[in-house]
Amino acid sequence: MDFQFKAILQSDGWLENTRISTDKKGVITSIGPTEDPNDASGYAIPGFRNCHSHAFQYAMAGLAERHGKESGGDDFWGWRKTMYELALSLDPDQVEAIAAMLYSELVRHGYTHVSEFHYLHHDKDGRPYANPAEMGERLIAAAETAGINITLLPVFYQKGGFGKDPLPEQRRFISPDLFDYASLLQRTIDACSESELARAGIAVHSLRGVDPEDVVRISQELGGELPFHIHISEQIKEVEECVGHLGARPLEWFLRNVNVSDRFNLVHATHATDREARGIAKKGANVVLCPSTEGNLGDGLFPLKEFQDAGGRWSIGTDSHVGLNPFEELRLLDYGQRLTNHRRDTFTGESESSGENAIRSAFFAGVKATGETTSEYFEVGKPLNACVIRDDHPLIEATGLGSLADRIVYASGPAWVKGTIVNGKWRVENG
């Protein structure tokens, strides 16, 4: 199949009037010039990787915003109570339906891959299903319905806090020990092998959610080269309790005790110190930033400048799904930094274009987070995954290629997305 674009974005810039040919499986067989530029339409940028998702939470997006008259009474921990109530109410059919709707919306907005940080494992009473991977298989089915690639990350969730037994409302999440989790992981790997869209990764909920000794063991003994994800240093209370329990801040402890490498994806890392941010970069690990959710929950702002200056790599996720637009995530990430640093050069890198630098980091760190291997946005031998931007919007028509990525990242809305191609198929076309 042939796709002809007015231009495609590669990591070193735009290629004008380009044809991409694919085989029956959607794998790119050639990239070259169009035979007739009049047949080309749309501007193709790499499909976005959504590197942190809790699909079931989409059902409560925007419904945790009612607060008492007295200020200061609601924070992340208050929001968590509402989330637990939702988690205890859903059956497998509902989880699959919510996820299918969410994933379809992600595709409509230009995402072609989602990393699902999945911890809703058991039935409403906390008992394992006859098939321990029941809920994970429902998420794979939802991805197939929507036509989106998925990296399923079954989460090891063991504790109710540092040194605390799990809470009753966490009963659907809990794997009591490493053996139990290893079994769940293997069942997940087997389930993913049955789908052309799915692959598996490994996840630990957080240092507060798993015994520290098991965090070290799981990093050493399970998963091999699978991508490893963990929530870390998201909340001030979490940092303070970690210091009290382990004698170190979460990132400080993790970097000191775990053999961190580029397969590690540290989610949020909101309250990283400058030193910790540099330590993440030195280890080659990636951070996953979720600006719309981090803003909604009042988490705080990651020290992005220090991290980038040290060579750090970051990807984006939509987490609780109060926002689904990848361009909005990039803008929120940038503007939060501008408001605190009073500078406008947040996204630095190989290009003078902030938009190109943002897309580059989100892509290559996103590939690490999802467990893919590629060296270019569009590469022969790899599936064609693209977010295609309309060429008939007045602001696009009035823009040269040198500024096109900036205009797309900073001025676009969902209506600018002409369509989304996943594995060589138009999953959304002409809106």
- Smallest CA-to-CA distance from 121 within 106, 139, 103 is with 139
- 180 and 223 share a domain? yes
User: Which is the catalytic residue, given 109, 122, 231, 319?
Assistant: 319
In the residue annotation, 67 being an active-site residue is answered as no
- 52 and 186 share a domain? yes
In the residue annotation, 392 being an active-site residue is answered as no
pLDDT in tens, the chain (431 residues): 999 999 999 999 999 999 999 999 999 999 999 989 999 999 999 999 999 999 999 999 999 898 776 666 678 888 998 999 999 999 999 999 999 999 999 999 999 999 999 999 999 999 999 999 999 999 999 999 999 999 999 999 999 999 999 999 999 999 999 999 999 999 999 999 999 999 999 999 999 999 999 999 999 999 889 999 999 999 999 999 999 999 999 999 999 999 999 999 999 999 999 999 999 999 999 999 999 999 999 999 999 999 999 999 999 999 999 999 999 999 999 999 999 999 999 998 889 999 999 999 999 999 999 999 999 999 999 999 999 999 999 999 999 999 999 999 999 999 999 999 999 999 999 88
Choosing from 354, 370, 386, the residue where a domain stops is: 370
- 140 and 274 share a domain? yes
Q: Cβ of 25: how many Cβ atoms within 10 Å?
A: 10
- Return d(Cα 141, Cα 379) in angstroms, integer: 28
- The one-character DSSP state at 129 is P
Beta strands in 142-243 (DSSP E): 149-156, 198-200, 202-204, 228-232
- 344 and 390 share a domain? no
- Return d(Cα 232, Cα 267) in angstroms, integer: 6
Burial of 265 per CB tally in 10 Å (0-12, 13-18, 19+): buried
Rounded to two decimals, the pTM is: 0.97
- Smallest CA-to-CA distance from 253 within 308, 213, 310 is with 213
- 306 and 225 share a domain? yes
- 187 and 40 share a domain? no
User: Which is the catalytic residue, given 113, 229, 268, 321?
Assistant: 268
What is the number of structural domains in the chain?
A: 2
CATH code (residue 125)? 3.20.20.140
φ, ψ at 175 (rounded to 5°): -110, 115
- CA trace torsion 96, 97, 103, 106 (10° rounding): -150
- 54 and 158 share a domain? yes
